[in-house]
Amino acid sequence: PFFMPMNDKKTVVLLHGHGVDASIWDDIYDDLGLDGPVLKPDFARLTSHTTIEAYAEELDACLRAEQTEPVVLVGHSMGGYIALAFAEKYPKRVLGLILYHSTATADTEERREQRQKTIDELNAEGTAPFIRKQLPKMVATTYPPEKTQTLVARYLNLPNDALISGLRAIAGRPERTNVLQTAGFPILLVLGLDDQLIPHDKTAQLADLSDNISVATIENAGHLSMVEQPQKSVQIIREFVRER
């Protein structure tokens, strides 16, 4: 046909990570929206979810309410864990999956202990010290400090209880490399070359699990390329969505 009917437009779902909220996508949301519907659910204030599977059920409820399926999932960090859990349970509802500065492996024992320590600190000190410590780790070391401080200010009032719930869910997540191995849809790993939280070289090895998995590396970006390199991020996501 010479035209694309409206309902052929693919819905892209942007799932934010831990320590930020859906506004983290603001720099790329409008540009992606030129191609078709884009959803950015906000899970940053949920306090009753303590497993990744519970967040995936929350996503299920959001998508049913919007009646837009199947979808391309773009999961940033913790959002990637949620996307994997959703894709494992509802594979037919997924057209494609972008693990965006995320991974399919579980926490090591040492990492779990660190997360428990962070939970204890959040309980004792509240949100602000956590955000002040965490946000600078989420960008490349070359990212301008004043821009980092703007981000810090944006997230200082995220609810303490919600951050703790998210950390519990992250710490308890199972390994989901099997989802990558067996997926009937294409998968893209978007990685920041300077990511301090999800090491680029180690995570890129997940592409060896299947011919279905490709890797896109963003230079001069850490864990937040949607903020650090928005044009490059839009280009990569757009190309993946158009090929679906």
Question: Each residue of 36-88: pLDDT tens digit?
Answer: 999 999 999 999 999 999 999 999 999 999 988 899 999 999 999 999 999 99
pLDDT 10s digits, 175-227 = 999 999 999 999 999 999 999 999 999 999 999 999 999 999 999 999 999 99
Q: Is the pLDDT of residue 1 over 70?
A: no
Q: In angstroms, how far apart are the furthest CA atoms of the chain?
A: 61
The full DSSP string for 150-206 is HHHHHHTTS-HHHHHHHHHHHHTPPP-HHHHHH-SS-EEEEEETT-SSS-HHHHHGG
- For residues 187 and 180, is the Cβ–Cβ distance under 8 A? yes
Q: Is the pLDDT of residue 4 over 80?
A: no
Check: pTM over 0.85? Answer yes or no: yes
Torsion sign (Cα): 210, 211, 212, 217: positive
Looking at the DSSP bridge assignments, the partners of residue 98 are 74, 188
Work out the pLDDT band at 2, boundaries 50, 70, 90: very low
For 13, which DSSP code?
E
Percent of the chain with pLDDT strictly greater than 90: 94
Encode burial over 158-197: b for 16+ CB neighbours within 10 A, e otherwise. Answer: bebebbbbbbbbbbebbebbebbeebebbbbbbbbebbeb
What pLDDT, on a 0 to 100 scale, did the predictor assign at position 233?
A: 98
Q: Is the pLDDT of residue 112 over 60?
A: yes
What pLDDT, on a 0 to 100 scale, did the predictor assign at position 159?
A: 97
| Collapsed DSSP state (helix, strand, coil) of residue 52 | helix
